[in-house]
A and B are shown apart, each in its own frame.
Chain A
Amino acid sequence: MSDLVTSTTLVAVPAWNESGSVGTVIEKVSAVVPDARIVVINDGSTDNTEAVARAAGATTLSLPFNVGVGGAMRTAFLYARREGFTALVQVDADAQHDPQEIPRLLDALKKSDVVVGTRFHEGSAYVVRGPRRWAMSLLSWSLSRISGEKITDTTSGFRAAGPRAIDLFADAYPAEYLGDTVGSLTIAIREGLSISEVPVTMHYRRIGRPSKSALWSTLYLGRATLALLVQLLKRNRHALREPVS
């Protein structure tokens, strides 16, 4: 891991009204990978997220209005491709991802195109129940089947992408509901990219994360399944491909 080159690594932090935590996240990330460039994609925040991010030393890309995580991430992938980065690590602005794990994600990127930090592993404190758990199991079973690789955590936002994945996602990162997680994995699998997982620990702002209502969870299950089906049915994923200049 000591031979890890991080000067061509972009750490992308999608942020929507996260002025309270984005500064700390940037500081922690730059302590772990000082050579990497950190870009905060300010997704139409109404607070001073952008100013806080810039003060902490990050580059900022400010979207004129809120487009969702999928759109924010595609902006990051476009930036990575145009600036010639060969690795992109996505870290959430709410401090639930531990930047200490970034080198491990980057290390796994040497062998595969997409690396997902999974919250499901032995000794993990992450537990989900009820319809949400069924939804996650269904998604992980389906994606594992179509990819032929074991994917346990399809909705983790802690990920890394290599050059081939950057090129693909700059054009085709989906903006639909759950597109940033399930949808992007489906696209990667269908384009023949390899995916691997690395166990990670998540920090939650509230201990024992309150379980949402049964109705909400059931809706989540339905929407997740629909999102998966839509992705599987899709054909023309390069409809808005960037013109070659």
Chain B
Amino acid sequence: MTATVLAIITSVITLVFIIDLLRRGVLKEKYAVLWLGVAGTALILAIFPGLLNWITSTIGVEVPANLLFFVTIVVLVLVSVQLSYELSRHEAQIRRLAEEVALQEEEIRRIRRSLDSE
């Protein structure tokens, strides 16, 4: 019973934390939706432990905890890959902006010079 209570409390805290981040505008919706989904699923499984047992036996996995760990790892790996993708895209965009800054700065210098010489 204490394990169930612990699981429910953890899920609720996570949910509240994500909602708070979203409310304060720190977390963008597209990331918040993912974590809300994860925390929501965890809460449902915490309230109805029988659900996990049922899914486990239905798909033929021996131990319910193993299924939970497997799904968790897959989700976390996918999230990491998604973040690496976003990071690569941002690096490329920032570099592009840096190049543009260098070009614009020279353009401004040239315009200023031609204005001065008038």
Docked complex: A59-108 residues within 8 A CB-CB of B: 59-65, 67, 71, 74-75, 78-79, 82
One of B93, B98, B106 near A71 (C-beta < 8 A): B98
A61/B93 contact (C-beta < 8 A), A67-B98, A71-B98 known:
no
Complex contact B95–A62 (CB within 8 A): no
Within 32-74 of A, Cβ neighbours of B (below 8 Å) are at 41-42, 59-65, 67, 71, 74
- Chain A residues near B98: list those with CB within 8 A: 63-65, 67, 71
Of residues A42, A82, A175, A239, which shows the largest number of chain B Cβ atoms within 10 Å of its Cβ?
A175
Residues of A contacting B93 in the complex (Cβ-Cβ under 8 angstroms) = 240
Cβ contact within 8 Å between A75 and B102 = yes
Q: Which chain B residues numbered 55 to 79 have a C-beta less than 8 Å away from chain A? A: none
Question: How many contacts between A and B, using CB within 8 angstroms?
Answer: 39
User: A45: shortest Cβ distance to chain B, in Å?
Assistant: 12
Instruction: Tell me which residues across on chain B come within 8 A of A175, comparing CB atoms.
Output: 92, 95
User: Complex Cα distance A240/B91, Å?
Assistant: 12
What band does the interface of chain A fall in when counting residues whose beta carbon is under 8 Å from B?
10 to 19
Q: Which of B95, B98, B102, B105 gathers most chain A CB within 10 Å? A: B102
Least Cβ–Cβ distance between A193 and chain B, in angstroms: 22
For B, the interface residue count at a CB cutoff of 8 angstroms equals 11
B106 in complex: contacting residue of A59, A65, A239, CB < 8 Å: A59
The interface residues of chain A, by DSSP majority, are classed as mixed
CA distance A145 to B95 in the complex (A): 32
Contacts of B92 in A (CB 8 A): 175, 239-240
Known: A64-B98, A65-B98. Is A75-B103 also a contact (CB below 8 A)?
A: yes
Find chain B residues with CB under 8 A from A65 CB: 98
Q: Is the CB of B102 within 8 A of A64?
A: yes
- Which residues of B sit under 8 angstroms from A82, Cβ to Cβ? 103
Chain B residues whose C-beta falls within 8 Å of the C-beta of A240 in the assembled complex: 92-93, 96
* Bound Cα distance A41, B92 (Å): 18
Q: A175-B95, A240-B96 are in contact. Are A62 and B105 (CB under 8 A)?
A: yes
Give B102's nearest chain A residue, CB to CB: A61
CB–CB B103/A71 < 8 A:
no
The answer to whether A63 and B99 have CB atoms under 8 Å apart is yes
Asked whether, in the complex, the Cβ of A62 is within 8 Å of the Cβ of B102, the reply is yes
Residues of B within 8 A of A41 (CB): 102
Chain A residues, Cβ within 8 Å of B96: 240
Whole-angstrom distance between the Cβ of B103 and the nearest chain A Cβ: 6
- Taking the nearest CB of chain B, how far is it from the CB of A134, in angstroms? 30
Q: Which residues of A contact B34 (CB under 8 A)?
A: none
CB of B21 within 8 Å of the partner chain: no
Q: Which residues of A contact B (CB under 8 A)?
A: 41-42, 59-65, 67, 71, 74-75, 78-79, 82, 175, 239-240
Q: Which residues of B contact A (CB under 8 A)?
A: 92-93, 95-96, 98-99, 101-103, 105-106
The 8 closest A-B pairs by CB, nearest first: A61-B102, A75-B99, A63-B102, A63-B98, A71-B95, A67-B95, A64-B98, A64-B101
